[in-house]
């Protein structure tokens, strides 16, 4: 009887020994003494808990191993089952000892077997609870490891040893993936279990499709700049013992490695010199330049973390910080000394932020044409105007890395509108390696938002200035005096545009750009430069009122759909400027020309007063210094606000 009971304890043993579990408890009445029936039932409860644990391990481990296929539940769950099997080895050893004891001893009793198995009961219950929690919470990937790490924080010595055995195989895929990503920029994660994932930009449903970096580089038909930004943090798999800041550092190191793996495209200055061409082909930067031969050392540092019995969070963070610091310093050294990042940022300021005012003045001249050619055809060849302006100003060499494109929206019927044309402009910048990590696609898009906004202001300034020139020229040729209403409205519009441009160019861009350049000149690590660059763009967008809940870069000329009320009011004022310039320069003015001028003047008064009130409210809440300067210049001595209040009282 005892041997059958012990064989039932080994019914699911990996060796295949044992019999099926006792399900028919009626045998107790015939073969078990009444004094031992409760003991027998307790042993059956222990066997039942054991069966529940083993059924889980077999459903994950044995079947997948026999078929030789990838587990559907992922590698972490498979290793979780292997860890449980390692703990059950002590249980099997105890059953084997009991079998030998019962065979050799004639005085073996059911109570002795119960007491021996009861010692293993807490471990079996603990394993069953782990399995149930994993199933109920539907844990997978790094979440399994995080749960085990949480369960390891208790004072039971026996269960502490158990959790260490269970966690050991689960830690292996985590630190292996971490080491390969940090050292080689490779992720082999077919089940999206790691906290760094690869998400193709052409994914329709947004689902991740993680794969090895080597295979991804071969299959990617995009530029390296597009590829490296397809890696992102998978927050659903970020283990709780790692903060989001540490995860950002891990992502940064891996992306840096990818940049170096893709190598630098060296262009010889003299293409006719065969020796220079050959040397350019030979001088290829790769991952070894980044690590300086220390890649194996850092790889072993990460892999050695797996040898700890539990996860030492502080040690993990220290290793990641050391690797990140080394990579940042190497990248900063190359960016500052070899690529001359200061000059690159100077070019960004000159063309994205309209730093070269004389060039954009010539660009507006080429784009708009002569005073008498105000028509819808003037914006048709903006790219050509951009190139002609560069040729006239003699800066074609500086513009070799910039290209301007114009995309027209088919959904807007009035394509002649300046907003629709200027909002379709996109300035592309071909930056030098390894600045891929600084000028991400998102950063370039933000630069384009600022560029389009500044260009709209600059274009309207040019057109409003032409209104004055045309009216003066007309008064000299014809025996009519200057129209005071037109000149007055023109002066107000020009005053508004000039102050907006000065606020953005001087108060915002110059101050924020100076802060960024001070960080770059300090030759700090590249992550600090990257962070300062992100802060620079965020501050500029915020202080230029370009941040809103709506999609970035999409301007609505009515301003009604904009989530930022100041931005919407600015767009309405720009719309007034556009309509005024069009009315005063077209060859066929409307019949009620002066009536339209009066209505525009009234609209301008309402919108400028609304803008001033919004700026006052924002300044009161935020106390921004540049905003105070804008208010001081725009509403000096309360000129616009006082006039609006006076007209409203009438």
Question: CATH 1.20.120.1900 occupies which residues in the chain?
Answer: 341-649
Q: Average of pLDDT values for 201-221?
A: 44
Position 558 scores a pLDDT of 39
Position 435 scores a pLDDT of 81
pTM for this model (two decimals): 0.76
What is the distance in angstroms between the CA of the first residue and the CA of the last residue of the chain? 109
Q: Give yes or no for residue 13 having a pLDDT over 80.
A: no
Kindly state the percentage of the chain with pLDDT values over 90: 20
Tell me the three state secondary structure of residue 197: strand
> What is the per-residue pLDDT across 15-67, written as a single tens digit (0 to 9) for each?
544 445 454 556 555 555 566 667 777 777 888 888 888 888 888 754 444 44
CB within 8 Å of 340: residues ≥ 6 apart: none
**Mean predicted lDDT score pLDDT of the chain:** 77
> What is the per-residue pLDDT across 386-399, written as a single tens digit (0 to 9) for each?
888 888 888 888 88
> What is the per-residue pLDDT across 240-298, written as a single tens digit (0 to 9) for each?
899 999 999 999 999 888 888 876 654 444 445 554 444 344 344 456 677 877 888 89
Position 555 scores a pLDDT of 44
Tokens of 83: 């860890």
Q: Give the residue with greater pLDDT, 48 vs 537.
A: 537
> What is the per-residue pLDDT across 581-602, written as a single tens digit (0 to 9) for each?
888 877 777 778 888 888 988 9
Position 420 scores a pLDDT of 67
Kindly state the percentage of the chain with pLDDT values over 70: 73
Whether 583 and 478 have beta carbons less than 8 Å apart is answered as: no
pLDDT category, 626, cuts 50, 70, 90?
confident
Q: Average of pLDDT values for 176-199?
A: 89
The segment with the largest mean pLDDT, out of 6-10, 161-165, 268-272, 520-524, is: 161-165
Q: Average of pLDDT values for 563-582?
A: 87
Specify the range with the lowest mean pLDDT, choosing from 66-75, 87-96, 114-123, 386-395. 66-75
> Which secondary-structure segment (H or E) carries 231?
strand 231-233
Whether 237 and 192 have beta carbons less than 8 Å apart is answered as: yes
Position 129 scores a pLDDT of 92
Q: Give yes or no for residue 200 having a pLDDT over 90.
A: no
Specify the range with the lowest mean pLDDT, choosing from 425-429, 521-525, 603-607. 521-525
Whether 608 and 496 have beta carbons less than 8 Å apart is answered as: yes
Q: Average of pLDDT values for 170-180?
A: 92
Q: Give yes or no for residue 426 having a pLDDT over 50.
A: yes
CATH number corresponding to 341-649: 1.20.120.1900
Query: Tokens 């009515």 label which residue?
Result: 558
Q: Give yes or no for residue 225 having a pLDDT over 70.
A: no
Q: Give yes or no for residue 224 having a pLDDT over 80.
A: no
Position 385 scores a pLDDT of 85
Position 625 scores a pLDDT of 64
Q: Give yes or no for residue 553 having a pLDDT over 60.
A: no
Position 207 scores a pLDDT of 46
Q: Give the residue with greater pLDDT, 368 vs 169.
A: 169
Q: Average of pLDDT values for 401-410?
A: 74
Tokens of 512: 């924020």
Tell me the three state secondary structure of residue 233: strand
Position 623 scores a pLDDT of 55
Considering only CA atoms, which of 199, 43, 198, 235 is closest in space to residue 121?
43
Q: Give yes or no for residue 342 having a pLDDT over 70.
A: yes
HEC string for 402-462 = EEEEECCCCCCCCCCCHHHHHCCEEEEECCCCCHHHCCCHHHHHHHHHHHHHHHHHHHHHH
Which residues is 581 bridged to in the sheet?
none
- Structure-derived torsion over alpha carbons of residues 61, 63, 66, 67, reported in degrees to the nearest 10: -120
Q: Average of pLDDT values for 510-535?
A: 88
Considering only CA atoms, which of 338, 351, 507, 495 is closest in space to residue 432?
338
> What is the per-residue pLDDT across 295-322, written as a single tens digit (0 to 9) for each?
888 999 999 999 888 889 999 999 999 9
Position 643 scores a pLDDT of 65
Cis peptide before 475 (omega within 30 of 0): no
Q: Give yes or no for residue 14 having a pLDDT over 70.
A: no
Q: Average of pLDDT values for 105-132?
A: 82
Distances (CA, A) of 108 to 2, 100, 118, 489: 9, 11, 16, 110
Position 276 scores a pLDDT of 43
Residue 164 CA to residue 311 CA, distance in Å, equals 10
pLDDT category, 117, cuts 50, 70, 90?
confident
Q: Give yes or no for residue 178 having a pLDDT over 90.
A: yes
DSSP letters, 370-393, are STT--SGGGGTTHHHHHHHHHHHH
pLDDT category, 213, cuts 50, 70, 90?
very low
Q: Give the residue with greater pLDDT, 92 vs 591.
A: 92
């Amino acid at each position: 009887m005892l041997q059958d009971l012990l064989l039932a304890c080994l019914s699911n043993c990996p060796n295949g020994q044992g019999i099926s579990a006792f399900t028919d408890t009626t045998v107790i009445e015939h073969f078990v003494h009444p004094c031992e029936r409760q003991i027998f039932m307790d042993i059956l409860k222990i066997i039942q808990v054991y069966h529940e644990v083993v059924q889980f391990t077999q459903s994950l481990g044995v079947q997948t191993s026999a078929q030789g296929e990838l587990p559907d539940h992922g590698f972490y769950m498979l290793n979780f089952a292997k860890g449980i099997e390692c703990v059950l080895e002590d249980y099997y050893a105890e059953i084997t000892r009991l079998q030998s004891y019962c065979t050799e001893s004639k005085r073996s009793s059911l109570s002795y077997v119960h007491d021996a198995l009861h010692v293993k009961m807490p471990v079996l219950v603990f394993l069953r609870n782990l399995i149930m929690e994993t199933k109920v919470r539907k844990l997978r990937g790094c979440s399994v490891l995080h749960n085990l790490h949480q369960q390891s924080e208790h004072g039971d010595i026996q269960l502490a040893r158990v959790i260490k055995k269970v966690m050991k195989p689960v830690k292996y895929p985590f630190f292996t993936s971490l080491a390969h990503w940090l050292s080689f920029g490779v992720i082999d994660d077919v089940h999206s279990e790691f906290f760094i994932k690869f998400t193709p930009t052409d994914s329709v449903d947004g689902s991740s499709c993680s794969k090895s970096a080597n295979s991804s580089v071969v299959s990617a038909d995009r530029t390296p700049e597009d590829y490296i930004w397809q890696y992102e943090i998978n927050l659903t798999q970020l283990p709780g013992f790692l903060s989001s800041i540490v995860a950002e550092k891990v992502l940064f190191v891996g992306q840096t490695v990818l940049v170096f793996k893709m190598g630098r495209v060296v262009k010889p200055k003299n293409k006719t010199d065969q020796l220079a061409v050959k040397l350019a082909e030979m001088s290829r930067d790769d991952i070894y330049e980044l690590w300086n031969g220390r890649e194996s050392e850092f790889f072993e540092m990460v892999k050695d973390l797996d040898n700890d019995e539990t996860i030492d969070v502080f040690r993990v963070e220290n290793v990641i910080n050391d690797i990140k610091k080394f990579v940042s310093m190497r990248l900063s050294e190359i960016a500052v000394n070899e690529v001359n990042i200061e000059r690159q940022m100077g070019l960004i300021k000159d063309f994205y932020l309209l730093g070269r005012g004389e060039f954009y003045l010539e660009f507006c001249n080429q784009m708009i044409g002569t005073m008498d050619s105000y028509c819808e055809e003037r914006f048709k060849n903006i790219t050509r105007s951009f190139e002609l302006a560069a040729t006239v100003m003699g800066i074609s060499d500086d513009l070799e890395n910039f290209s301007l494109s114009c995309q027209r929206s088919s959904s807007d019927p009035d394509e002649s509108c300046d907003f629709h044309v200027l909002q379709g402009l996109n300035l592309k910048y071909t930056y030098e390696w390894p600045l891929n990590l600084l000028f991400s696609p998102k950063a370039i898009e933000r630069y384009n938002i600022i560029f389009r906004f500044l260009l709209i202001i600059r274009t309207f300034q040019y057109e409003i200035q032409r209104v004055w020139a045309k009216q003066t020229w007309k008064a000299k040729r014809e025996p009519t005096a200057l129209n005071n209403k037109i000149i007055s409205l023109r002066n107000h519009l020009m005053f508004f545009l000039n102050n907006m441009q000065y606020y953005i160019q001087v108060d915002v861009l110059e101050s924020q750009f100076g802060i960024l350049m001070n960080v770059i000149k300090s030759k700090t690590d590249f992550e600090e430069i990257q962070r300062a660059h992100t802060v620079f763009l965020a501050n500029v967008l915020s202080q230029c009122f370009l941040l809103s809940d709506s999609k970035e870069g999409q301007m609505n000329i009515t301003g009604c759909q904009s989530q930022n009320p100041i931005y919407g009011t600015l767009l309405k004022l720009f719309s007034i400027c556009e309509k005024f310039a069009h009315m005063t320069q077209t060859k066929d003015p409307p019949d009620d020309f002066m009536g339209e001028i009066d209505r525009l003047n009234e609209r301008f008064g309402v919108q400028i007063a609304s803008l001033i009130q919004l700026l006052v409210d924002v300044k009161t809440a935020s106390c921004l210094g540049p905003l105070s300067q804008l208010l001081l210049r725009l509403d000096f001595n309360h000129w616009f606000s006082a006039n609006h209040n006076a007209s409203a009282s009438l």
